[in-house]
Amino acid sequence: MEKQVITVNKKAFHDYNIFEKYVAGVVLTGTEIKSVRNNAINLKDSFCRIDEGEIYMYNCHISPYSNGNIHNHEQKRTRKLLLTKKEIFKITGKIKKDGYTLIPLEVFITKGFAKIEIGLAKGKKLYDKREDMAKKDIQRKIQQGKY
């Protein structure tokens, strides 16, 4: 299964601890898939929520298709994510019990279909972010041979 990564939500990895990951399909309209293939998607401030047993993604910005017409899509519309009922029940239980948040992590295309990887996450505290930055700094210095 070859996948072509379109975009990664780097801010999510900085602001949250990711515990579990799921791959979901995305319901897109006409010109949205063309914009996604042109890397015109931004996950920076997006999040997911469960409404009436279905998962929806909010605040995901997909730019209008440049060669589109008057029927171009709305840029920040709510998009439905496709998961099995079993996965949705499992995610719902963890969100209610443990207080997790659903965050989009990356968008990729596989076999011609746009997919999104979502993660069950908890927010990092400021000291956790500082600790992660210190670890990355040490790793960078080790690779450069300064340690």
pLDDT digits (tens, 9 = 90+) for 36-82: 888 888 888 899 999 988 999 999 888 887 776 666 767 788 999 99
Q: What is the pTM of this model?
A: 0.80
CATH of domain 3-144: 2.40.280.10
> What's the confidence (pLDDT) of residue 1?
59
* Segment 12-44, tens digit of pLDDT: 888 888 999 999 999 988 888 888 888 888 888
Residue 126: what pLDDT?
A: 82
Domains of the chain, residue spans: 3-144
- pLDDT tens for 76-110 read 889 999 999 999 999 999 998 888 889 999 999 99
- Quickly list DSSP for 94-119: HHHHH--EEEEEEEEEETTEEEEEEE
Tens of pLDDT, residues 116-134: 999 999 888 887 788 888 8
Distance, in Å, from the CA atom of 42 to the CA atom of 121, rounded to the nearest integer, reads: 19
Sign of the torsion angle spanned by Cα atoms 116, 47, 123, 139: positive
Q: Note whether 76 and 59 are within 8 A (CB).
A: yes
